[in-house]
Amino acid sequence: MLEDFRSGVVALIGPPNAGKSTLLNQILGEKIAIVSPKPQTTRNQITGILTRDNLQIVFLDTPGIHKQKGKMNDFLIKSAFAGLESSDVVCLVLDGDLYVRKPHLIAKEVSLIVERLSKVEKPVFILINKVDKIKNKNTLLPLTEEILKFFPEKDIFYISALNGDGVAQVLNKVARELPYGPPLYPEDQVSTVPLRFLAAELVREKLFYLLDKELPYYLAVQVEDWLEEENLVTIRAVIYVARESHKPIVIGKRGSRLKEVGTKARLELEELLGKKVFLELWVKVKPKWTENTGFLLSLGLGGQVV
């Protein structure tokens, strides 16, 4: 019955690498947000839509909140905080395993967030993630006490975004906080993210895994052509690098790295689209693109609202 239907927006915020995108994928049972072991993988605000019998939750996966400088980072932070504004409930995701090992990082990572959250007048839940990695569960109590110093009186949940432990409890609790109202999106829609964008993101994810250290932060991927036929989709994407010297690294010896990226991304795209995919990748140099407002906007950065 529509009178019982609840719908609303939940922002997933937190430091980079806490597991926000993994959590979103876990909740939806589908991969719509890319994930990597390196921080700051997520650049755009990604929406994931969960629809159940009498409930629709629109999740905003946001870039991590961090303190780095530069125009792109300003855009990322803006996008993360835009999620805060446009949501009914906020879930703050924290890497519990990291903080058990390095408690001094708590203050460093959450200070920016504490400041902003103190002004938020909506339910905020703290999700302590990666508990599957915490072998000694006795460490959870001191960790919780430490975290509560920054967020007094907030509800705490222990979850594993990776294997799903504790996630159902969070969803139940979140659902009860959402306003009554009709669904915001059709019930079969899982995301508002366009397929072209998802394709570019999958390429970027593979680059994150195959390239070392800093380089992935200076890469952007854009789909330039998308030709859909009955059984085949032909996709042409450009990988932008910031320097000439980055180009051979991305391409690899006799094109080997680019080939590996292409194969891995193609296989996932074929699964996603249910069709054969021909994926053509090009590498182009775009100096200082991370400071180029027009280009950043063309990548969809800068925060979008639901």
Ligand X SMILES: Nc1nc2c(ncn2[C@@H]2O[C@H](COP(=O)(O)OP(=O)(O)O)[C@@H](O)[C@H]2O)c(=O)[nH]1
| Nearest residue (CB) to Mg ion, 20 versus 246 | 20
Distances (CA, A) of 282 to 215, 224, 248: 17, 10, 12
Residues 147-176 that bind ligand X (CB under 6 A): 160-162
| Nearest residue (CB) to ligand X, 22 versus 56 | 22
Under the binding rule (CB under 6 A), the answer on residue 222 touching ligand X is no
Cβ-closest position to ligand X: 19
Instruction: Judge contact between 127 and 92, C-beta under 8 A.
Output: yes
Q: Pick from 6, 9, 11, 22: which binds ligand X (CB under 6 A)?
A: 22
Residues 274-303 that bind ligand X (CB under 6 A): none
> For the chain, what's the residue count?
306
The distance of closest approach from Cβ of residue 23 to ligand X in the complex, given in angstroms and rounded to an integer, is: 7
124: which residues sit within 8 A by CB, 6+ positions away?
89, 90, 91, 92, 117, 151, 154
Q: What are the strands of the beta sheet with 232-241, ordered from one edge?
A: 219-228, 232-241, 276-285
Instruction: Judge contact between 11 and 42, C-beta under 8 A.
Output: no
Distances (CA, A) of 212 to 38, 91, 207, 218: 10, 31, 9, 12
Under the binding rule (CB under 6 A), the answer on residue 129 touching ligand X is yes
Tell me the two tokens of residue 27. 């909740």
Map residues 23-62 to x or -, x wherever contact with ligand X holds by CB under 6 A: ------------xxx---xx--------------------
Residues 20-59 that bind Mg ion (CB under 5 A): 20-21, 42
Binding footprint of ligand X, residue count (CB under 6 A): 21
Residues near Mg ion, by CB under 5 A: 20-21, 42
